Amino acid sequence: MVSDDPNGKFHVLSRQDGKLLASYGRVEHNAGEFENLHNLGIDSKGNIYTAEVQGKRLQKFRNLGGL
């Protein structure tokens, strides 16, 4: 995963070849949107966590098995 803060997104990349698998988000302050995305994490179940400076919040994206 990589953060694309200017565009308010994060991208999921393939570990094998680095190809783009999916992109999520946009610049706003609603669920699934980001203001100054600065940190990404993933847990053992594949859930993704994001942290924002400007938005002053964390968001959790549940792994539904798609990637």
Whether residue 54 lies inside any domain: the answer is yes
Range of the domain at 55: 2-61
CB-CB contact of 32 with 24 (8 Å): yes
Whether residue 30 lies inside any domain: the answer is yes
Residue 66 has pLDDT above 80, yes or no: no
Whether residue 66 lies inside any domain: the answer is no
Give the strand pairing for 57-61 and 48-52. Answer: antiparallel
The whole-number average pLDDT for the span 15-21 is: 94
Q: pLDDT over 70 for what percent of the chain?
A: 97
The whole-number average pLDDT for the span 6-30 is: 93
| Number of domains the chain is built from | 1
The whole-number average pLDDT for the span 12-19 is: 93
Rounded Cα gap, residues 31 and 4, in angstroms: 17
Whether residue 32 lies inside any domain: the answer is yes
The structure's pTM equals 0.83
Whether residue 20 lies inside any domain: the answer is yes
- Structure confidence by residue, pLDDT tens digits, 24-58: 999 999 999 999 998 999 999 989 999 998 878 99
Whether residue 67 lies inside any domain: the answer is no
